[in-house]
Amino acid sequence: MTNRPTSRRTVLECMAWAGAAAVWSFSGGVPRARLLGSPAHAEEASFSFAQISDSHIGFAKDANMDVPGTLQAAITQLGQLPHHPSMVLHTGDVSHLSKPAQFDTAAQIIGAGKFDIHYVPGEHDMLEDNGRPFIERFQAREKPGVAGGACYSFDQNGVHFIGLNNVTDLKAGGLGMIGEAQLKWLAGDLAGRADSQPIVVFAHIPLWTVYAPWGWGTEDGERALALLRRFGSVTVLNGHIHQVLQKVEGNVAFYSARSTAFPQPAPGAAPSPGPMKVDAGKLRGVLGIREVTVIAGQAALAVADATLAG
Amino acid sequence: MRARLARRTVLAAAALLLPRAVRAGDAAVAIKDFAFDPATLTVPAGTKVVWTNRDDTPHKLASNAQPPLFVSDALDSDDAWPMVFDKPGTYGYFCTLHPHMQGAVIVT
């Protein structure tokens, strides 16, 4: 991989084709991009993980009559990556309606992949009993940061991972919400950590305001970001909006992921958000998985999105 | 006699459709394109208001009051949820999944 600084124009060009299988890397807030599968990727990779999102098990409408099938395809594709992911992050909306049978199906399909997997909830997962069924089932392995709050952190290969819940206790007219208890926990969780430690935050709803009229943002996301700004490498991964979007702000890079179930319109491109129907032959081209690689010896992560169309 | 029987059968069939069907005297709010229609509904005290989800995605209602005066079930597509409003007042509510969706029931 070259260390040549990238011009703003190049970055914008890269963003234009980010929907293709592109690898993003960044250091100190400057992103670089190249095509997936270039040799540097294979030689320098020391640790990689994957992200899947919005599997919506239980959904069966025109936009996708077989969401278990496309989730299965995503898991199969993860298993075929040249570098087996050290772990997988699921950024929520595992189910469509928080039903036990939906959780069962998701757990069965995802579990068959035998990945080390960490989940954060989407709003569709927390519809019953304040989200307890989801937390007990999918976060049993985690040490909760706050009681019942569905947030936690852990270290892997020198990277600090923070899973946040920004889908409960939402207020009328508002956006996603992290809440006081989690923010207090986050401040304590980050205290004492070296600025040089790479941080990966994963949550369902974007922490940055993508499009407020559709609620695509987090009310108090800025308060979380204020705690993260001193770190040299911060990567924020989310789902919820079912499409790849990226933004870099200082040392913080935001990446929104595709769904494994159905696409949603681009912000403002339709009267409302929600499942978007595409031709059956094109569906897998708008669903996808994400691979993230931590490069040995540098505070740079590479983010590669691939569709289920292969 | 036969005509009356037939009419009774029709009424019985209509009753079987409840709570999805909205009866005369009830008021209806459609949930469509991530919005409540009508967003503000004015009804006399004692009216049953029935919300029906016409979107391809679930919605769930809660009143703005803390603690909420009412919380609906999670409404999947075409699910309906009734609520009888007995006391005059203004009842603001929102969707707990998509809180930018807001509505109000004004009971006179």
The answer, yes or no, to whether residue A184 has pLDDT greater than 50, is yes
The answer, yes or no, to whether residue A221 has pLDDT greater than 70, is yes
Looking at the complex, report in whole angstroms how far the Cα of residue B90 sits from the nearest Cα belonging to chain A: 15
- Residue B100 and residue A215: Cβ atoms within 8 Å? yes
Q: Binning pLDDT at 50, 70 and 90, where does residue A295 land?
A: confident
Q: Does B93 touch chain A (CB under 8 A)?
A: yes
CA–CA separation, B59 and A99 (whole Å): 15
List the alpha helices (DSSP H) in chain A.
8-16, 39-44, 67-79, 100-111, 132-138, 180-190, 221-228
One-letter amino acid at A215 equals: G
The answer, yes or no, to whether residue A112 has pLDDT greater than 90, is yes
CA–CA separation, A86 and A81 (whole Å): 11
- The predicted model gives A113-140 an average pLDDT of 97
The answer, yes or no, to whether residue B93 has pLDDT greater than 70, is yes
The answer, yes or no, to whether residue B84 has pLDDT greater than 60, is yes
The fold of B24-107 is: Immunoglobulin-like (2.60.40)
The answer, yes or no, to whether residue A292 has pLDDT greater than 70, is yes
Provide the CA A239 distance to its chain's centre, in angstroms: 5
Dump pLDDT digits (tens) for A191-219: 999 999 999 999 999 999 999 999 999 99
Q: Taking CB atoms and an 8 Å cutoff, what residues of chain A touch B34?
A: 214, 272-274
Q: Which range (A84-88, A92-96, A281-285, B8-12) has the least confidence?
A: B8-12
Report ipTM for this prediction: 0.82
Return the domain boundaries, chain B. 24-107
Per-residue model confidence (pLDDT) at position A46: 76
Dump pLDDT digits (tens) for A222-237: 999 999 999 999 999 9
- Residue A61 and residue B56: Cβ atoms within 8 Å? yes
Q: Could you give the domains of chain A?
A: 48-294 (3.60.21.10)
